[in-house]
Amino acid sequence: MSDSNRYSKVTPVSWELLQRDARQLAWDLLKKGTWKGIYAVTRGGLVPAAILAREMEIHQIETICVSSYNWKNQGEMNVLKKPEGDGEGWLIIDDLVDTGGTARVVRDMLPKAYFATLYAKPEGRPLVDTFIREYSQDTWILFPWDSEGQFVEPLVKRVNDTK
């Protein structure tokens, strides 16, 4: 089964939901103490990291550049930019932990950092320290930066068109 066929469901995440979940994550992380800074896992972690940085008043933001997805197909893991240090006192922020491939690579680079994501799936969940929502492994999460709003025919018209 190709990677793109392993998703039987699609769940769109709106900008409003993403911001609400990121603010909840910030609230949860503030209860755990103070942080030296944030490592945003690019590209998906950039937007959540920006929201967390604002809400937590963190000004030190770095990136870890890892690429593995081409739309729904997960391929070879490419580390494009590595962090310095072991991550002690730092947050790692990503949008999602799916199969855990990216998370394993990032954890190996920053073993002492605290890893937080907005969303988690069962295969990757053990690799992060905290997350806000869990989705099934067969759900493709459609982030707002990967979509645009458009008109959709009412269901009744779509059903009648197939008869």
Element (H, E) at 25: helix 15-30
- Does residue 21 register a pLDDT over 50? yes
The helix-helix angle for 15-30 and 46-56 (nearest 10°) equals 50
Please report which confidence band the pLDDT of residue 71 belongs to, taking 50, 70 and 90 as the band edges: low
**pLDDT above 90 for 138:** yes
Q: How confident is the model at residue 155, as a pLDDT?
A: 86
Euclidean distance between CA atoms 90 and 82, whole angstroms: 15
Task: Identify the pLDDT of residue 9.
Answer: 94
Q: Specify the residue for token string 């690799």.
A: 127
Q: How confident is the model at residue 135 (pLDDT cuts 50, 70, 90)?
A: very high
Tell me if the bond preceding 158 is cis, omega within 30° of 0.
no
What is the rounded average pLDDT of the residues 139-152?
89
Residue 1 has what pLDDT? Answer: 45
Active site residues: 94-95, 98
Q: What is the pLDDT at residue 163?
A: 62
* Structural domains in the chain, sorted by start: 3-161 (3.40.50.2020)
> Residue 133, preceding bond cis, omega within 30 degrees?
no
- What's the pTM? 0.84
pLDDT > 80? residue 160: no
What is the model's pLDDT at position 24? Answer: 98
Task: Mark residue 100 as left, alpha or beta (left: phi above 0; alpha: psi -120 to 50; beta: remaining).
Answer: left
* Helix (H) or strand (E) run with residue 73 in it: strand 73-81
Asked if 111 and 86 count as a contact pair (C-beta separation under 8 A), the reply is yes
